[in-house]
Structure 1
Amino acid sequence: MNAEQRLAKIVGSGQECSRDEVDPLFARLQPVTCDFMLGTWRGGLFNDHDALAGMLLGMNWYGKRFTGPDHVEPLLCRSADGSLYSYEKLGLARLREVSFRGTVSAAMIYDQRPIIDHFRRVTDDLVVGAMDAKGQPDILYFHLTRTH
């Protein structure tokens, strides 16, 4: 089973997966362009018990919306009534191609925080992200599924 198949199976099953399991799979995924990322994506975590995941779970994180290269809503959340809203206390973001571990791919760069999310392709509608936050020793891996 290749990296794409393995990650699609993990995401599809909803099973938790450690950072140590995701890391080598992420390294084998193909890069994506900024245009590929345009649209709205539902997010998910590989490990809900990861220290960095707690913040996202606490804000009822839904996913991300990429409107254009200079306008990204990195933290779409669900309100109590189920509607989506952009949690902007951490700011907005932009989309650029950035090298991460030797591979140039689309990355989301927060406007006001030292955080970069690097993306790699699993399928046309599924990507894996690697959140690289300055001052955090670990990468938070997550997945995004295109909704439209």
Structure 2
Amino acid sequence: MSTEDRALALVLGHDLPRPGELAALFRELPPVAPARLTGLWRGGVFDPEDRMARLLARLRWYGKRFTDPEDVDPLVCRTDDGGLYTYDGMGSARLREVVYEGVPSAAMVYDGRPIIDHFRLVADDVLMGAMDAKGEASVLYFHLTREPEEP
């Protein structure tokens, strides 16, 4: 099974990751250019018990919106009635190409927080992310799936 196929199986929930597997998969996935991220992306986490994942669940995190490289909504959340809104508590962000573990790829850099979300390509409309937050003992691995554009 290819790295991309294994990552996609985990994104789709067909299996649970083995210890250390997410970091290894992330390192092996190909980079993605920032220009490919434009649009609304639905997010998910691989480990719902992670401290940051529990925080995202409390916020009812839906995903991320990349309008252009300078205009990113890092936390798009759900309202009580199912609508979407931008959670402003973490501020805004921007896209850059950043070298992470030796690979230049798209990354979302928070404007006012010491957090960088690094992205790698799983499939045309599926990304794997690694949230690197200063002061956190571990990296939060997550996934994003592009939503179809509204007509």
Q: Which residue does the alignment assign to 1:84?
A: 84
1:134 lines up with 2:134 in the alignment: yes
Q: CA RMSD in A?
A: 1.1
Whole-Å separation in 2 of the counterparts to 1:16 and 1:58 = 22
Whole-Å separation in 2 of the counterparts to 1:15 and 1:78 = 26
1:105 lines up with 2:91 in the alignment: no
Q: Which moved more, 1:7-16 or 1:93-102?
A: 7-16
* Percent pairwise identity: 51
Q: C-alpha displacement at 1:17, in angstroms?
A: 2.8
Whole-Å separation in 1 of the counterparts to 2:61 and 2:14 = 16
Q: Which residue does the alignment assign to 2:70?
A: 70
Q: C-alpha displacement at 1:21, in angstroms?
A: 1.5
Whole-Å separation in 1 of the counterparts to 2:124 and 2:104 = 18
Q: C-alpha displacement at 1:51, in angstroms?
A: 1.6
Map 1:111-130 onto structure 2 (within 5 A): 111-130=111-130
Q: C-alpha displacement at 1:89, in angstroms?
A: 1.2
Whole-Å separation in 1 of the counterparts to 2:15 and 2:59 = 21
1:27 lines up with 2:60 in the alignment: no
Q: Deviations over 1:103-122 (max 9, x none)?
A: 00000000110000000000
Mapped contact 1:19–1:140 kept (Cα < 8 A): no
Q: Which runs of 5+ in 2 are unaligned?
A: none
**How many correspondences in the alignment?**
148
Q: C-alpha displacement at 1:19, in angstroms?
A: 6.0
Structure 1 residues 47 and 18: alpha-carbon distance in aligned structure 2, compared to 1, 3 A threshold: farther
Q: Deviations over 1:18-42 (max 9, x none)?
A: 5612110111000000111111100
Whole-Å separation in 2 of the counterparts to 1:89 and 1:10 = 29
Tell me the TM-score normalised to structure 1 length: 0.96
Whole-Å separation in 2 of the counterparts to 1:2 and 1:17 = 15
Mapped contact 1:18–1:46 kept (Cα < 8 A): no
* Letter paired with 1:6: R
Structure 1 residues 11 and 91: alpha-carbon distance in aligned structure 2, compared to 1, 3 A threshold: same
Tell me the TM-score normalised to structure 2 length: 0.94
Whole-Å separation in 2 of the counterparts to 1:105 and 1:48 = 26
Mapped contact 1:26–1:128 kept (Cα < 8 A): yes
Q: Deviations over 1:40-90 (max 9, x none)?
A: 100000010112211101100000000000000000000000000000111
Q: Which residue does the alignment assign to 2:44?
A: 44
Mapped contact 1:115–1:131 kept (Cα < 8 A): yes
